[in-house]
Structure 1
């Protein structure tokens, strides 16, 4: 059971002071958070790509490269790379470079992206949203399979027997498919035999169990060993010494951030009732003391089948010291409980 952290490098106003941290400062903080996650024994750290004012990182590979030289064991992933609006050649080259700096710890988490700002920014038509991803994923996978590439498509100039460099330390460089939970994207990951990441940020995680089965069926049908494929989840959460402290610190910035996004997308208001319901055992919010968070992750493993869990913290801007404390508790206290329990359960 792998455990890790994800972040979108948020720069929303502080709920108490109204102050907005600079992009530069928040980026430096995240490098420190990755270093700490490595020190406390976590397995992976993922950094999201966004192109908007309230998220500071538009170039995850650069930030991960900065952390790569300061870490020893932790895997370094995008979360996600918005492949639809990027060039697969450059994505591969950037993460192959991170792989070199880290000596084989880089991963690409490829997705369509839940925000659309990158499409007009780089001149892509949202009407091509699905087609862009399929075509560019095809090119990315061809690049990782072969040093010399010949390829043609609709949305990018053709490549005729050109070499793509540098080559990564890992062969092949890990590419994950990120999904919000649509059957189409889950099945695609299975057909391709690629590891799957599910964004479980609302509703009940139990609703994702049939999708995991769909993924494995698609993999088996296409000749892949489903037992060797990894299923990961990414969920919002926060760990503190007590559940009351976790709720007190995490709810206000989360509510503010979720309501800003909710107004953009036409969602209902994010209330304390919504928050508290999501904190229940079968909810998608992993907020509480060490034992509470550990129990929820174990429940997820047993009932949905995930083999990697990534805690997304914070959702809205929080003091850096609080985020660091949550990472330390997650690595030093939550992770050992989860790993021990999963190992016992597997051996029964």
Structure 2
């Protein structure tokens, strides 16, 4: 049996889900508590109710181990999700979750909230494989997602009575303070990278605010010289191996940009170099449709771009930013030159304006200055 809290007419209800004779049943029970200020009490009531129901209708726990439960779930996920998502699940499970639960031999019937809490606390303190401390709060949420879904499958299949993972306490989200380059710093960086293989990538990333995966996913069918457009349709992601995707992060990530003269020059040069390299390498050339690649046709590995970018900043004495923060720099330049949040949302390919506001709202100085000027004018005129 599983349960959740729902709000109806301003009050909390416990919603109990069970399976009987292969059919799913749902039962709503009022807590009598109003929504405001009673979330913790309602959660406690739900836990107590689930415990009561489990005692009344006990489920015989399976002898399956937690590790085998995760393996079983991975097999199912391979049919349900795309390759990149599956590789992410598989990598996390094989690197962290399976070794821990295999070594400890924990069975499903012994998998309590306390057992899982010990796992998460240990990984948060000492989870890094390089010995440099613990995993981030974001990574821990990924672990919880995998274990939670795997155990939920076991509840659905009648192997355990409830999912202990839903009650595990997680560390607070860490707010990463994004860093930005000014227009002058970007120009300085681009000049310093003259002749470097990633200079064209840096230029396009700064100009269009592309994600690394979108940048490396640019194909020639996305470069419309005739109509002067750059289309974002493909991505290249890094998991255990490089994975090519014929779709972007979200539907809103599929977008188009006008091709600036500088961008046209970059793409024309890349095309000319590709044709020359095909002639020079002959049969050894690795043909593909990607715009940015090595002279022999091999595509850039995402990790190479990230690490080489960092090395170049250090070499030229530039302030350290992540490659992804070229995207942030693009957004900050747009905002500080009078563009509104809605326009920036569309340019960056965010699924909703709240995402844009959360990341860049504090940079919208032009709008804030306009508001400040209006308030000043009102106060002066006594309105």
- TM-score bracket for this pair, using the shorter chain length: under 0.3
Higher helix share: 2
Query: Which structure would you say has the larger Rg?
Result: 2
Structure possessing the higher relative contact order (Cα contacts under 8 Å, 6 or more residues apart): 1
Higher strand share: 1
